[in-house]
Amino acid sequence: MTTIGFIRHGVTAWNKEGRAQGSTDVPLDEEGIQMAERVANRMEYEEWDIIYTSPLIRAKRTAEIIAEKQSALPFYIDKRLGEIGGGIIEGTTEAERVAKWGLEWRKQDMGFEPEETIISRGMSFIEDIKEAHPGKRVLVVSHGGFIGRLLKILVPHGEFENDIGNTSVTVVELQDSKNLCHLFNCTKHLETREV
């Protein structure tokens, strides 16, 4: 029984501007670095065995900040954990999309990564993790869209309607019969005040 702790990367300037990021390599902003430091402080007091991260800099930097507090943990980059490809809308805001393609832009072919491809790479990663790390606790630093899609496959009867928050923690226990989500979209580490 392998346990996976999904962590979404810290916030970026594009997150704040409402710009679609997708596979564009946007770095954390100053607040995003602080958020990553706070989730790292939280993880320091939890038992984890290994860290995997998306290669995109916003996730990779978040993972590196977590790893700095847990230097004994093995650290791997896996391209399958990258964000969903956003096609030609990457870098645009909703207002810009409406202005350029109209209100019905979602019904047009924008070159998004196909759903089957997203699920295939996500489940390929999960199967490899189960095989390589049975019984271990694995941290996975990735992206909101990707984590959200994967959760709906791993825990199909869960209620995951919320957007995945920046540096939120979601914990899923992988079991043979039915996976269990023990924690969803938790950002309690952001609520505490620095003294």
Average pLDDT over the chain, rounded to whole?
A: 94
Q: Dump pLDDT digits (tens) for 13-26.
A: 999 999 999 999 99
Q: Find the Cα–Cα–Cα–Cα dihedral 182, 148, 115, 180, rounded to 10°.
A: 0
Catalytic residues: 9, 83
Q: Dump pLDDT digits (tens) for 113-157.
A: 999 999 999 999 999 999 999 999 999 999 999 999 999 999 998
Binding residue numbers for substrate: 8-15, 58
159 pLDDT band, cuts 50/70/90, is confident
CATH number of the CATH domain containing 172: 3.40.50.1240
Looking only at Cα atoms, what is the longest distance across the chain? 51
For residues 33 and 165, give the distance between their C-alpha atoms in angstroms, rounded to a whole number: 15
- Does 195 score more than 80 pLDDT? no
3-state secondary structure of 73: coil
For residues 110 and 106, give the distance between their C-alpha atoms in angstroms, rounded to a whole number: 8
CA geometry: angle 145, 76, 132, nearest 5 deg: 95
Residue 41 structural domain: 2-191
Which stretches of 86-171 are DSSP H helices? 94-101, 115-132, 144-154
How many domains would you assign to the chain? 1
Binding residue numbers: 8-15, 58
- Integer-rounded Cα radius of gyration of the chain: 17
